[in-house]
Amino acid sequence: MKADKVKITKLLKTARGQIDGLLKMVEEDRYCIDISNQLLATGAIIKKVNHDVIQAHLGECVKDAFEKGNEEEKIEEIIKLLDKLSK
């Protein structure tokens, strides 16, 4: 992985902590809107991590593949990823 591992790890640990908090909120039968807001915050972190990973992939792996003439495989990967993101 070419993304900043320290940054990604910190964000994922934060998301994990938020998920643990969400489980506790559900177990405690907390207010629905509070749970929903926490879900949105957790999702935003996951989205940020995915953005950073994809950006690093494009900036390093895809760029390298184009320089070496292996771009077709990387293009197919990106198309499949865009299909997933658009659903």
Banded model confidence at residue 87, pLDDT cuts 50, 70, 90: confident
Q: How far apart are CA 66 and CA 84, in angstroms?
A: 23
Chain position carrying tokens 């039968």: 29
Residue ranges of the domains in the chain? Answer: 5-85
The structure's pTM equals 0.85
pLDDT tens for residues 17-70?
999 999 999 999 999 999 999 999 999 999 999 999 999 999 999 999 999 998
pLDDT of residue 18: 98
> Domain 5-85 has what CATH class?
mainly alpha
Name the burial class of residue 23, with classes exposed (0-12), middle (13-18) and buried (19+) by CB atoms within 10 angstroms of its CB: exposed
pLDDT of residue 49: 97
